[in-house]
């Protein structure tokens, strides 16, 4: 079986389309995470193409299975989840009615549900909603609806 690039990336053995390892991406500071728009598809892949980053990975059923049974990929996914929770806890620009980060949040929830299960997806979603509630941010009902159904 051929191991595809997204699986190798999440196992720490490969790079994304720009030559970054998962460790490089996780080491980005908050400013870099906000300004860079092509890493989220590698950290949290989905089985459909990204409209924002057309050359990003598209998960196959084989990728999904390989990630689920991998010893290393779940560790990277947990690290990526922790990093993104920290990002959303310490940044404020996304706490508005509409923001590109709302789509990222939806992607993260969907990817976690697919690759790590409901508990991981719900925990991330709950951390995001807790931040929204704590700040009384005017995040749109539409975004909240996407997060609820992701």
Residue 150 contacts residue 110 (beta carbons within 8 Å): yes
Q: What is the dihedral of CA 14, 19, 22, 26, to 10 degrees?
A: 170
Residue 57 contacts residue 6 (beta carbons within 8 Å): yes
Residue 58: phi and psi, rounded to 5, are: -120, 120
Q: Is the pLDDT of residue 20 over 70?
A: yes
Q: Is the pLDDT of residue 3 over 90?
A: no
Question: With bands split at pLDDT 50, 70 and 90, how would you rate the model's confidence at 132?
Answer: very high
Confidence at residue 106, expressed as pLDDT on a 0 to 100 scale: 98
Average pLDDT for residues 110-123, to the nearest whole number?
Answer: 98
User: Tens digit of pLDDT for each residue in 62-108?
Assistant: 999 999 999 999 999 999 999 999 999 999 999 999 999 999 999 99
Measured between alpha carbons, how far is 74 from 134 in angstroms, rounded to an integer? 29
User: Tens digit of pLDDT for each residue in 21-52?
Assistant: 999 999 999 999 999 999 999 999 999 999 88
Q: Is the pLDDT of residue 55 over 90?
A: no
Confidence at residue 1, expressed as pLDDT on a 0 to 100 scale: 61
Q: Is the pLDDT of residue 149 over 70?
A: yes
pTM here is 0.96
């Amino acid at each position: 079986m051929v191991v595809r690039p997204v699986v190798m990336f999440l196992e720490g053995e490969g790079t994304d389309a720009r030559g970054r390892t998962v460790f490089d991406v996780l080491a980005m500071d908050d400013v870099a995470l906000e300004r860079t728009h092509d890493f989220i598809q590698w950290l949290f892949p989905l089985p459909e193409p990204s409209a924002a980053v057309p050359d990003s990975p598209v998960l196959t059923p084989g990728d999904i299975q390989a990630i689920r049974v991998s010893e290393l990929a779940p560790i990277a996914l947990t690290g990526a989840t922790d990093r993104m929770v920290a990002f959303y806890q310490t940044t404020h620009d996304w706490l508005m009615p509409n923001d590109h980060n709302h789509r990222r949040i939806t992607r993260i929830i969907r990817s976690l549900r697919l690759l790590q299960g409901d508990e991981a997806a719900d925990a991330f979603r709950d951390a995001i909603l807790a931040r929204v509630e704590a700040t009384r941010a005017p995040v749109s009902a539409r975004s909240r609806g996407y997060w609820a159904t992701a």
